Structure 1
Amino acid sequence: MKNEEEDEPLSPLARVFQSPAIDLCNIVVVGLKTKINPDVVLDALKHNVYKHPRFSSKLSENGAKWIKTEVNVEDHVIVPYVDPAEICEGGQSFVDDYISRLTMIPLDRSRPLWDIHILNVKTSDAEAVGVIRSHHSLGDGMSIISLMLACTHKTSNPDMLSTAIPPMKRRSTVSHSLERNGWFLRVIFTIGSTMRLIWNTIVDMLLLAATVLFLKDTKTPMKGNANVRRNPRRFYHRTISLDDIKLIKNAMNMVRFDLCS
């Protein structure tokens, strides 16, 4: 009975991410100003990983449920041996090659679908690099950031997190003015919301049908062929200027170009 209560079915989106045709993973690369001490990382994970249910659960045999499990963090923190001869002149190419090879190695489905790779290799931007890999069915980037923040503390004040995510303010579905003005405005508000939902649903269904039947992506110099998903992935770390971004925009004939700060 206890195991049944701890098991949780996968959401429809998580099932999509688990399908063999997609099988997406998140990869986060973090550069640090000092060398990484693996013992510190292990200790932080032991105290925080159980606060995040997805990072302390594994898939059932049929891939339909999340099952709570004991997490041996030593199995998830990997510190590979780095041969100085492989680094040569720069460590950035070594890191890029390592991450590229990592994308070709599937996660072990017999345990929680995440791991951390510690590369104490000096690059042009950092003294060491941490690579966090997790399956997309565990959640989005915010889930990884939440775990990272929980494992990060200020050295001057160990009891205080180095940073914090501002709390989200809940929005009430019905405004206070509607509550004061009685049932008539509430009915109008409900009808308007329902009609907007129906209209948006119809538009989305028509766009989906049109995409399946005849709509195609605009051809640009950056668009790959039909089998591009089967090609091996290659990671590159580069610092580029806005002029380079504008060059790409002009080459792709983009009508609108926004930058989000």
Structure 2
Amino acid sequence: MDASNGSSSAAAPQSRPLSIRTKPRAPAAGTDEWTTNDSTAEKEPVSPTARLMEPVYIVVTIGLGSPLDLPVFTTHMASGLPRYSRFQSIQVTEDGNLRWARVKVKVEDHIVVPTLDPVAVAVAANPDQSVEDYVASLFTLPMDRSRPLWEFHFLNFPTSEATSTAIIRVHHSLGDGMSLMTLLMSSASSAADPTRLPAMPKQPERTGAIYAPRRPRSSGAMPFLGWVCSYFVLAWNTMVDVAAFIATMMFLRDPHTLFKRSDDTVFNPPRRFVHRSLSLDDVKFIKNAINCTVNDVLVGATSAALSRYYFRKSGNSNSDKIRLRSVLPVNLRSTTSLQAGAFIFRRMFANTTISFTSMIGPAEQTNWCGHPVVFIAPSVYGVPQALIMHYQSYCSTIKVILSVDKEIFPDYSQLLDDFAVSFRCIKDAASKL
């Protein structure tokens, strides 16, 4: 991350960040260092995809149901994380090539327990705002690239949802959201049975005509014509999608709206990270009532929430000329050319308005490093869109997490309210079916 960008971003904060002094705490004796013997090991090249993630960081806020027990956390991390090579590696340049190099890792260098200044009485007055301010302040703090790019921050005071809070910051080159979720769950256990990993939701059964077994094609002209037409429609839709992708990459930009900056010169704007808990049972009720998928419900509620916010703020009810497109990141294969990939990456994010992701979490109460987990709220920073939306399920709740450009969304709390209202309205309508 460019440190100068972070410094300029902090010049005009949305609200005064939490005043802190950070000091690493020493872990339990005998668990403070991972040692690796890689003197003869070949250094693995950094993949083009990882290099494209240079400005992007993942930030995960985890609410805990008990006060912080730092020695327990340290013991779990020291025993579990060494299994993952990326968390023991840094990026080095050799002969002009970027490679991963194993290093000795001291756990204490990656644990931050902030010491609150005596004048920071805002913690007692509004602990939720204090956590929000602290997470937002991480944007201004560059990470030490002489160490593996991951950190654990702990705020050991109660909020409206949790007894204490853990904030994980990880450079996106170490993995994507799903791989990092898998890593976290490997250090967790079921609250009902600590001897096993947390149970994940079962894969949903796919129903409907598209998933029905194919029937043998009967003879005759009409079935043959139907078969030909279906492939023609598939080919046509594919060509349209490819053309739209190329146009977006080259010149097709979403127009300036309340959700988008007027130019793309600010690739990494300062952000606020906020979240709201919703009922997963309500989402499933809507899904069953209208015979769709969970993702269909989330996309529909998102559209409704953004519409409510837009029309209230703009006072305009004419949506004929509004174009608002979302990027749904999916990694299908490795990129063979970094320069072509970097161009596509930047243009796709700069020419669209929002990003949207949805992740599945444990289906039961989970203990992470000996602490009960209340909620999981992942997000990112380092991309140009003013609004990034994440949905994260856990037990019987689903979190909507917003990463917002605070200059574009100074009233981001109202946008969160719009999500809650939209879900409630959709549920009320579904209950009448």
TM-score by length of 1: 0.72
Unpaired runs of 5+ in structure 2?
1-37, 204-233, 280-299, 312-318, 327-355, 359-390, 392-397, 399-433
Written as runs of structure 1 = structure 2, the 5 A alignment for 1:227-242 is 227-238=265-276
Once the two structures are superposed, residues 105-159 of structure 1 have per-residue CA deviations (whole angstroms, 9 ceiling, x without a partner) of 1221111110110111211111111000000011111222122212223567543
Work out which of the residue numbers 104, 119, 129 in structure 2 matches 1:70.
104
Find the counterpart in structure 2 of residue 102 from structure 1: 138
> CA 1:220–1:239 in 2, change beyond 3 Å: closer, same or farther?
farther
Once the two structures are superposed, residues 52-93 of structure 1 have per-residue CA deviations (whole angstroms, 9 ceiling, x without a partner) of 121121111467111122221111111111346521311111
- Please say if 1:33 is aligned against 2:65: yes
Q: In structure 1, how many angstroms separate the alpha carbons of the residues matched to 2:135 and 2:76?
A: 24
Q: In structure 1, how many angstroms separate the alpha carbons of the residues matched to 2:76 and 2:307?
A: 43
Q: More strand by proportion, 1 or 2?
A: 2
* Larger mean Cα displacement after TM superposition, 214-223 or 47-56: 214-223
Unpaired runs of 5+ in structure 1?
169-195
Q: In structure 2, how many angstroms separate the alpha carbons of the residues matched to 1:5 and 1:167?
A: 40
The answer as to whether partners of 1:149 and 1:164 remain within 8 angstroms in 2 is no
Q: Secondary structure at the match of 1:31?
A: strand
* Larger mean Cα displacement after TM superposition, 147-156 or 40-49: 147-156
Written as runs of structure 1 = structure 2, the 5 A alignment for 1:79-94 is 79-83=113-117, 85-86=119-120, 87-94=123-130
Deviation of 1:35 after TM superposition, in Å, equals: 1.0
Q: In structure 2, how many angstroms separate the alpha carbons of the residues matched to 1:156 and 1:212?
A: 49
* Larger mean Cα displacement after TM superposition, 149-158 or 80-89: 149-158
Coordinate RMSD, CA, aligned: 3.8
Q: In structure 2, how many angstroms separate the alpha carbons of the residues matched to 1:90 and 1:244?
A: 28
Deviation of 1:16 after TM superposition, in Å, equals: 1.1
Find the counterpart in structure 2 of residue 224 from structure 1: 261
What code does the residue aligned with 1:29 have? Answer: T
- Please say if 1:58 is aligned against 2:116: no
Q: Secondary structure at the match of 2:162?
A: coil
Deviation of 1:244 after TM superposition, in Å, equals: 9.0
What code does the residue aligned with 1:81 have? Answer: T
Q: In structure 2, how many angstroms separate the alpha carbons of the residues matched to 1:166 and 1:88?
A: 38
> CA 1:218–1:118 in 2, change beyond 3 Å: closer, same or farther?
same
Work out which of the residue numbers 163, 167, 170 in structure 2 matches 1:131.
167
Work out which of the residue numbers 304, 307, 312 in structure 2 matches 1:249.
307
Deviation of 1:47 after TM superposition, in Å, equals: 0.8
Q: Secondary structure at the match of 1:96?
A: helix
Q: In structure 2, how many angstroms separate the alpha carbons of the residues matched to 1:216 and 1:48?
A: 45
Q: Secondary structure at the match of 1:125?
A: coil
Q: Secondary structure at the match of 2:67?
A: coil
Deviation of 1:237 after TM superposition, in Å, equals: 4.3
Q: Secondary structure at the match of 2:51?
A: helix
> CA 1:246–1:210 in 2, change beyond 3 Å: closer, same or farther?
closer
- Please say if 1:8 is aligned against 2:44: yes
Find the counterpart in structure 2 of residue 151 from structure 1: 187
Q: In structure 1, how many angstroms separate the alpha carbons of the residues matched to 2:151 and 2:202?
A: 28
Q: Secondary structure at the match of 2:169?
A: strand
> CA 1:147–1:247 in 2, change beyond 3 Å: closer, same or farther?
closer
> CA 1:67–1:243 in 2, change beyond 3 Å: closer, same or farther?
closer
Sequence identity, in percent?
33
Q: More helix by proportion, 1 or 2?
A: 1
What code does the residue aligned with 1:233 have? Answer: R
The answer as to whether partners of 1:96 and 1:237 remain within 8 angstroms in 2 is no
Deviation of 1:211 after TM superposition, in Å, equals: 2.4
